[in-house]
Amino acid sequence: MLEKLREIEARYDELESEMADPEVIADQLRYKKVTKAHSDLEDIVANYRELKRVMGEIQATGEMLRDKLDSELRELAEAELASLEEARATLEERLKALLLPSDPSDEKNVIMEIRAGTGGDEAALFAGDLFRMYSRYAERNSWQVESMSSNPTELGGFKEVIVMISGDRVYSRLKYESGVHRVQRVPETEASGRIHTSAATVAVLPEAEEVDIEIDPNDLRVDVFRSSGHGGQSVNTTDSAVRITHIPTGMVVTCQDEKSQHKNKDKAMKVLRARLLDQLMEEQEAGIAETRKTQVGSGDRSERIRTYNFPQSRVTDHRLGLTTHRLTEFLDGDLDEMIEALIVSAQSERLKKAE
């Protein structure tokens, strides 16, 4: 591992020199690639340099202990050595995780699909709550949220809402959110005050570029129709809504949010590409059944991953067994603690398999 880290540090220094080279600075495309590569290595190099510092101190403290010391100084040196050894072990584990091959999709934007599940109007309201929660989380991270398709209800919820979330490493942060989200609360639609359990499903798909998924135009059936709003009332007097059917798979994507047929078709194609890429990834991973079973973020949309309990202001992630009593803050987009725990858990699983 240390040899690999030395090579990474040398490459990091080379990139730093390139970033100061006037020729590289003048070529904006090359400069962007160099700065990106430099940034990707930053965490590894910072931790490696800290590890080298700690190892140097361990050596110096060990040499001190070989000298004749009075009992008080020896006790202090031994305590310092124990602390340094602990720091070294932590840094080594962190570096092992950083050196794991990254998911090639981590850099991608995402298509997020939120659908009301069991629970009728209450499930649709909860789907709306989840949509607002992820929108607030995106806002906290300076990500952009663009509506791709939506089917709102008169009470302010959604039967379905599909959005694209764009920004820095969005998929790496949101990929563990796929699954069934369950809510326990007294519904606004319930007069008797009984606690109901409802559910909504979340699917997080990495955005697929045309180079990722090649779609034969002959495999598509494109239908256009007039957009409609709540209860079927017309909201557009032209045939701007688009329905695309991918004939080989039977996948159907509908988009009617835009007034422009061209924009609706473009958005529908983005959703279709993302779904086809997701299907391809699932097929590839199906051959690695054991890995998929142990991963925190298997992406199985039928798996119940989290419960939001309003009476006790509690959010529980069932994969981690982790509970927080900050429901209000959580629904306001304060998700980092949970997401970090999911990332660490997934890395731990991968480290076990790499050993």
Q: What is the mean pLDDT of the chain?
A: 85
Q: Span 196-210, mean pLDDT?
A: 89
- Report the range of poorest mean pLDDT among 119-128, 154-163, 200-209, 255-264: 255-264
Q: How far apart are CA 164 and CA 184, in angstroms?
A: 28
pLDDT tier for residue 165 given thresholds of 50, 70 and 90:
very high
Q: How far apart are CA 318 and CA 309, in angstroms?
A: 13
Q: How far apart are CA 293 and CA 305, in angstroms?
A: 14
Closest CA to 171 of 120, 123, 112: 112
pTM: 0.69
> How confident is the model at residue 294, as a pLDDT?
41
Kindly tell me if the per-residue pLDDT of 20 is higher than 50.
yes
pLDDT tier for residue 192 given thresholds of 50, 70 and 90:
low
Calculate the CA 233 to chain-centre distance. 37
The neighbouring-strand residues paired with 225 are 241
**What domains are there in the chain, each with its CATH number?**
2-98 (1.20.58), 110-350 (3.30.70.1660)
Per residue in 116-160, pLDDT (tens digit) is 998 888 999 999 999 999 999 999 999 999 988 888 988 889 999
User: Going by DSSP bridges, is the β-strand pair 322-324/314-317 parallel, antiparallel, or unpaired?
Assistant: antiparallel
Q: How far apart are CA 305 and CA 332, in angstroms?
A: 19
| Contact predicate 225/237, CB 8 Å | no
| Contact predicate 78/127, CB 8 Å | no
pLDDT tier for residue 287 given thresholds of 50, 70 and 90:
low
> How confident is the model at residue 297, as a pLDDT?
46
The neighbouring-strand residues paired with 246 are 220, 251
Query: In terms of pLDDT, which residue wins out, 164 or 104?
Result: 164
Closest CA to 160 of 168, 150, 169: 150
**36 CB burial (10 A radius; 0-12, 13-18, 19+):** exposed
**349 CB burial (10 A radius; 0-12, 13-18, 19+):** middle
> How confident is the model at residue 164, as a pLDDT?
93
| Torsion of Cα atoms, 249 then 214 then 174 then 132, to 10° | -70
Phi and psi at residue 257, to the nearest 5° = -70, -30
> How confident is the model at residue 238, as a pLDDT?
63
Query: In terms of pLDDT, which residue wins out, 329 or 63?
Result: 329
Kindly tell me if the per-residue pLDDT of 46 is higher than 80.
yes
pLDDT tier for residue 237 given thresholds of 50, 70 and 90:
low
Per residue in 208-233, pLDDT (tens digit) is 877 677 888 888 898 888 776 544 44
The neighbouring-strand residues paired with 111 are 164, 205
User: Residue 214 half-sphere exposure, CB side, CA atoms within 13 Å?
Assistant: 2
